[in-house]
Amino acid sequence: MEIVRLHAFTDNYIWGLRHNGQLAVVDPGESAPVLEYLGQSGDRLVAILLTHHHGDHIDGAADLCALGNITVFGPAVDEIPFVTHPLHGGETIALPGFDAEGSFKVLSVPGHTRGHLSYYRPGMVFCGDTLFTLGCGRLFEGSPEQMWQSLSQLSALPVDTQVYCAHEYTYLNLPFALDVEPGNEKLQARAVSLREKISAGIPTVPDTLAAELETNVFLRPAVAEVISAARRFSGDETLTSPVQIFTALREWRNGYKPPVN
């Protein structure tokens, strides 16, 4: 199976999974990039995987379904009209026409939205707007507790898992990460290579879960420097539990303006 990167809007990724001339796409917020790719490659679209109901992830799906005979996986609680296989998490799905490599485990990761799903198979996870490179999704429908649970679930995947998130947000997340944890040498080193990519217009996604565990502050609420930063922001020296620290970090990030220089 080959993974193809398609770009949508300004910073969305539509991930394509290819096998024997068949294509499945994750979160087609627009149909045009997918249709263009199908035209160039001659591939046949067989399946769509949706992580959550936001327009920038699903608005291209209706058009693509018009191609006919498309299996659409998506969160059951979101009640998206064209989903043919509503999922709750915990299921194993098979992309039609793919071999064993088209088998994915469905993870329920609420927080950004109530029904948010991730799709995992060894080596890769498609996590939509839950975990980003150096960041995490905003809490539109879920509680901080839910999001922390969801991020913990993703954190427990094998560390060599490639994190295929749905946005290129690294340039926005990097200044915040450095403000929270300036003493993290792994983060400093990653910042150098990420800045090179960003200024050269090279995608920073995917990267490994190992890199996120070492440098993504939202996965590090037990680290002393992160705890003291969260306490400093909130003015509450009693914050202790991972959920409390995570909650403070998320609130801080919501209103964060990077330093101007």
State the catalytic residues.
52, 54, 56-57, 112, 129, 167
Instruction: Please report how close the Cβ of residue 114 comes to Zn ion at its closest, in angstroms.
Output: 12
- Nearer to Zn ion by C-beta: 59 or 214? 59
- Nearer to Zn ion by C-beta: 129 or 168? 129
Got the DSSP string for 84-95?
Answer: SEEE-SS-EEE-
What does DSSP say about strands 22-26 and 44-49: parallel, antiparallel, or unpaired? parallel
Contact 12, 56 (CB under 8 A): yes
Cα–Cα distance between 165 and 70 in angstroms, integer? Answer: 23
**Dihedral sign computed on CA atoms, order 49, 50, 51, 56:** positive
Instruction: Please report how close the Cβ of residue 140 comes to Fe ion at its closest, in angstroms.
Output: 10
* 3, 35, 56, 242: residue in contact with Fe ion (rule CB under 5 A): 56
* 167 sits near Zn ion (criterion: CB under 5 A): no
**In the numeric block, which tokens belong to residue 114?**
């109530």
* 129 sits near Zn ion (criterion: CB under 5 A): yes
* 116 sits near Zn ion (criterion: CB under 5 A): no
- Nearer to Zn ion by C-beta: 53 or 190? 53
* 54 sits near Zn ion (criterion: CB under 5 A): yes
Contact 51, 60 (CB under 8 A): no
Cα–Cα distance between 117 and 137 in angstroms, integer? Answer: 13
Instruction: Please report how close the Cβ of residue 34 comes to Fe ion at its closest, in angstroms.
Output: 16
Total of chain residues touching Fe ion, rule CB under 5 A:
2
Contact 62, 51 (CB under 8 A): no
Q: Which stretch binds Zn ion (CB under 5 A): 38-46, 59-67, 115-123, 126-134?
A: 126-134
- Nearer to Zn ion by C-beta: 14 or 239? 14
Instruction: Please report how close the Cβ of residue 60 comes to Fe ion at its closest, in angstroms.
Output: 13
* Count of residues making up the chain: 261
* 168 sits near Fe ion (criterion: CB under 5 A): no
Q: Which stretch binds Fe ion (CB under 5 A): 55-63, 93-101, 141-149, 232-240?
A: 55-63
User: Can you list the positions of beta strands (E) in the chain?
Assistant: 2-8, 12-19, 22-26, 44-49, 71-75, 85-87, 92-94, 103-108, 117-121, 124-128, 131-132, 135-136, 162-165, 207-208
* 43, 78, 129, 168: residue in contact with Fe ion (rule CB under 5 A): 129
Instruction: Please report how close the Cβ of residue 90 comes to Fe ion at its closest, in angstroms.
Output: 24
CB atoms inside a 10 Å sphere around CB 94: 13
Which residues sit at the interface with Zn ion, rule CB under 5 A?
54, 129
Which residues sit at the interface with Fe ion, rule CB under 5 A?
56, 129
